[in-house]
Amino acid sequence: MKRRRVLSSMGAFGLGLVTLPTTGWAAAFSSKDATAALRAALDKGVQVAVSQLGANNGFLNNDKVRIGLPSPLDQAAPVLQAMGRGQQLQQLTESMNHAAEQAVSLARPLLSKAIKDMSVQDAAGILQGGDNAVTEYFARKTRDPLTAQFQPIVNRSLEKLSVTQRYNDLAGKASRFGLLQGQGGTLQDHVTNKALDALFMVIGEEERKIRQDPVGTGSALLKKVFGAL
């Protein structure tokens, strides 16, 4: 109840102040403080996400974000493995995940700009939003430019490792045996989209950690705002 009352008060931006109803004490913070706290939380999330996913094996060693084969080829994998193509499938998976980590490592400037440009209304929307509010904000502000930035990096990485040729070879084998249906999109699109999904997901996870334990951040501002929500 307290969180709903606090956040609904943020809708009255003209008041400029959010009063926190509590038992036995009262505190207040401005919408400016709330926005600054959220910017700090998201900036921390971006730092963690980029460093974590951009590290060597940052995708491969994380079950939540590891990029698997495109769905049609994944469905054909058992037959391809039986045909002796298991090693190629493994190499393809590793190459896709390494391409994603290389792309993600360069994402921070665009994400930081989205945080810096965040308005009070944007901040209120995130604070009042559900578990996907952060993902939705970053997707709206950065997905298209990040896609444009990621694609050349992913392309170069896959071409360098002859992954596209390997994928086409595997897909061709599967297709000849009638194992591929509904094949759509390129391998580059698959890797880019999965990399962005992972990036936004990890940022959202870091924000939720701050919401749950603002004291642990060591930031007085984050403690003041998130501790009251």
Whole-model pTM over 0.85: no
Bridge partners of 19, per DSSP, are: 28
On whether the CB atoms of residues 199 and 95 are closer than 8 A, the answer is no
Task: Yes or no: say if 69 and 93 are a contact pair by the CB < 8 Å rule.
Answer: yes
* pLDDT reported for residue 218: 57
Residue 70 lies in a domain: yes
Cβ(80)–Cβ(86) below 8 Å = yes
* Inside any domain, residue 19: no
Residue 22 lies in a domain: no
- Would residue 174 count as lying in a domain? yes
pLDDT of residue 129: 77
> What is the model's pLDDT at position 183?
45
For the chain, how many structural domains are there in total? 1
Residue length of the chain: 229
pLDDT at 166: 63
113-118: long-range contacts at Cβ-Cβ below 8 A with a sequence spacing of 24 or more? 114/138, 114/141, 114/142, 115/39, 115/42, 115/43, 115/46, 116/39, 117/141, 118/35, 118/38, 118/39, 118/42
Q: Evaluate whether residue 111 is within a structural domain.
A: yes
> What local confidence, expressed as pLDDT, does residue 214 receive?
63
Q: What is the pLDDT along the chain (229 residues), one digit of tens a residue?
A: 444 444 444 443 333 333 333 333 234 456 777 788 788 888 888 999 999 999 999 999 999 999 998 877 777 778 778 878 778 888 888 989 999 999 999 999 999 999 999 888 888 888 777 777 888 899 899 999 999 999 999 888 887 766 566 666 665 555 554 444 444 457 888 899 999 999 999 998 887 777 776 666 656 656 666 655 5
Residue 18 lies in a domain: no
| Structural domain of 108 | 40-216
Please check whether residue 25 lies inside any domain of the structure. Answer: no
Do the domain assignments include residue 3? Answer: no
Angle at 218 between CA 55 and CA 27, to 5 degrees: 135
pLDDT at 16: 38
